[in-house]
A and B are shown apart, each in its own frame.
Chain A
Amino acid sequence: MWTFSCPIIAYGDYALEYIAQIQGKKAFLVTDKNIVSLGLLKLVTDQLDAVNIEWQVFDEIEPEPSVATIKRGGIAIGKYQPDWVIGLGGGSCMDAAKAIIILLVQPDLDPDAIIASDTYNFRQKAKLMAIPTTSGTGSEATWAIVLTDTEYQRKIGLGTTECTPDVAILDPVMVEGMPPQITADTGMDAVCQAIEGYVSTWGTSITEGPGLVAAKQAFQYLPRAYKDGRDLEARKEMQNAAILAGLSFGNSMAGLGHSLGHALGAMYHIPHGRSVGLFLPYTMEYLINGSEETTAKYAEISSFCGAASGSNLECAKALVTRVRTLLKEINQPLSVADCGIDKDQYEASVPDLIDRALNEVMTMTVSRVPGVEDLGKIFRYAYAGKPINF
């Protein structure tokens, strides 16, 4: 048995007006101070005001939110007792909203104890809405909650399928002002999730469809969105690509690019999308070198995206080249060294990076599971920018 979770998706111009259709009295908005200062919060609260829904804001979410922040949000939501919780912002804010809504029904629960196999029944009290202000994390369509374990400087993946939002609103007005760097970082997350969701060993034909289309749209529209943020067609298509990628990997699993990227991101505080995007071509090469099954799937993506035609191997390699070309087009790092990380410091941290990557579920959901030795080599090759030849 497997399940596919998906919110109602309101998208396109004026999608925020979907808020007029919701039934409720009090909304609790989970966001960050930057979203407030950019005026994006007001766009949402104007819609709530128009339909006489009271609201309260919790704007304390930091990038890679900690368990302590979620606990503070839990106290605030307990006092307010809303019937809607709205995660407004990037992945951190949306993930935080998913954790905080659970505390509405279990106020004493340690967020660290949110377990995939548990049912919390928070919809008895409130529904969950996600409004992304970036295009890439796909959090608006997934149940995953990524928090930071500050004690071990490690990202912890929590959540239960129940945490899939009821509603996701993709309004281009929320992303048109996104700076190029964030457009590139988050956009690469979408590319990585689309490709990894498509080839995941947990994937099925139900999850492959959204992954395939997401990859095609992201390759086509991410460079345009990066170069001209006011290109609304590109912005809308990147919103679509991000949520489709979320539906794909969120209902299957991500892969090695995410495992290695999580490890690097947690230790060196590199934005999530940038770090997973960096490792994507290296981990694709690793899988191509040892898995005909995944090579064939890369070839399918490659053909669908018009990257190449020919044998599976030729097409798969062309897809890797296409990823590297995209990274260059949007000025993303092609190696760990490009991130400005000191070589000696990095080398000393490789055992810890390996341990973290080895213990990600996403390391087990690929067709060629690396061990300690191969992970060490991939980390070192990626530092130097050397293509994976083993």
Chain B
Amino acid sequence: MAAKFGTQEWYDIYKEEINNSKEYEEAAKTWEGDFYFITKKGGPAKEAIVGYVDLWHGKCRNAEIVTDIKKYNPEFIIEAPYAIWKRICLKQLDSTQALITKQSKLMTGSRGTMSKIMRYTKAANELTNITARIETEWLD
């Protein structure tokens, strides 16, 4: 059964899929860092959707929908409109291409650096591969 995009149910499945992925575990075995994935308010997203994902040594320690954006202070924040997230999740749009063309926005928090995230390109790619495997009920 499909999980609705932007819900805790979807993030529970995302966490499980990450933790079942040998490819991700191998690519991210030394990664320590957390993210906000923010879907901007607009279109089918009636409010901003903030997903928090804490990734640690190839595993996902926490994945949750956050209602108070101040709850965490993640290293990295990626923000995009709903339509762009949908294309990225469906692998219709490469996540790096989305950044280059400024369709999505990457922000580094107080601890994050570009050189850190760029050492884990393969892991980032695997995270996108995982989203494509989740049976998703889209908002539109």
On whether the beta carbons of B114 and A117 are closer than 8 Å, the reply is no
Q: Which among A112, A152, A161, A358 is the interface contact of B100 at CB below 8 angstroms?
A: A161
Are A112 and B101 CB-contacts (below 8 A) given A117-B106, A360-B121?
no
23 CB contacts below 8 A, A to B, read A1-B103, A110-B113, A112-B114, A112-B115, A113-B108, A113-B113, A115-B108, A115-B114, A116-B100, A116-B102, A117-B106, A149-B115, A151-B115, A156-B114, A156-B118, A160-B100, A161-B101, A358-B121, A359-B122, A359-B123, A360-B121, A364-B96, A364-B121
- Per-residue contact bits, chain B 90-117, to A (CB 8 Å; 1 contact, 0 not): 0000101111111111111000011100
When chains A and B are docked, how far (Å) is the Cα of A158 from the Cα of B122? 17
Find chain A residues with CB under 8 A from B56 CB. none
Docked-complex contact A152 and B115, CB < 8 angstroms: yes
The residues of A that contact B108 with a CB separation of less than 8 Å are 113, 115
* Proximity bits, A130-165, B CB within 8 Å = 1, else 0: 000000000000000000010110101110110000
A106 to B106, CA, bound (A): 17
With a cutoff of 8 Å between Cβ atoms, the chain A residues found around residue B20 in the complex are none
14 other contacts beyond A359-B121, A364-B96, with CB at 8 A cut-off?
Answer: A3-B101, A115-B107, A115-B108, A115-B114, A116-B106, A117-B106, A149-B115, A156-B114, A160-B102, A161-B102, A202-B97, A359-B120, A361-B121, A364-B94
A2 near B114 with CB under 8 A, answer no
Interface mask (A345-359 → B, CB under 8 Å = 1, otherwise 0): 000000000000011
Given the interface contacts A113-B108, A115-B108, A158-B114, does A152 sit within 8 Å of B102 by beta carbon? Answer: no
B121 / chain A contacts, CB cutoff of 8 Å? 358-361, 363-364
A118 sits at the interface (CB 8 A):
yes
CB distance A116 to B115 under 8 Å? no
Q: How far is the CA of A147 from the CA of B108 in the complex (A)?
A: 18
> Please, how many angstroms separate the alpha-carbon atoms of A110 and B97 in the complex?
23
Q: Which of B100, B107, B123 has the most CB of A within 10 A?
A: B100
Q: How many CB-defined contacts (below 8 Å) exist between A and B?
A: 70
How far, in angstroms, from A158 to B94 measured CA to CA in the complex?
Answer: 17
In the complex, are the beta carbons of A115 and B96 less than 8 A apart? no
CB-nearest residue of chain B to A156: B115
Contact A115 B113 (CB under 8 A): no
Q: How far apart are B33's CB and chain A's nearest CB, in angstroms?
A: 14
Q: CB-CB < 8 A to A158: which residues of B?
A: 114
Inter-chain contact B125/A364, CB cutoff 8 Å: yes
User: A359: shortest Cβ distance to chain B, in Å?
Assistant: 4
Bound Cα distance from A243 to B26, whole angstroms: 38
In whole angstroms, how far apart are the Cα atoms of A324 and B92 in the complex?
37
Shortest CB-to-CB span from A43 to chain B, Å, is 34
Chain A residues, CB < 8 A from B115: 112, 149, 151-152, 154, 156
**Does B119 belong to the interface (CB within 8 Å)?**
yes
Q: How far is the CA of A359 from the CA of B123 in the complex (A)?
A: 8
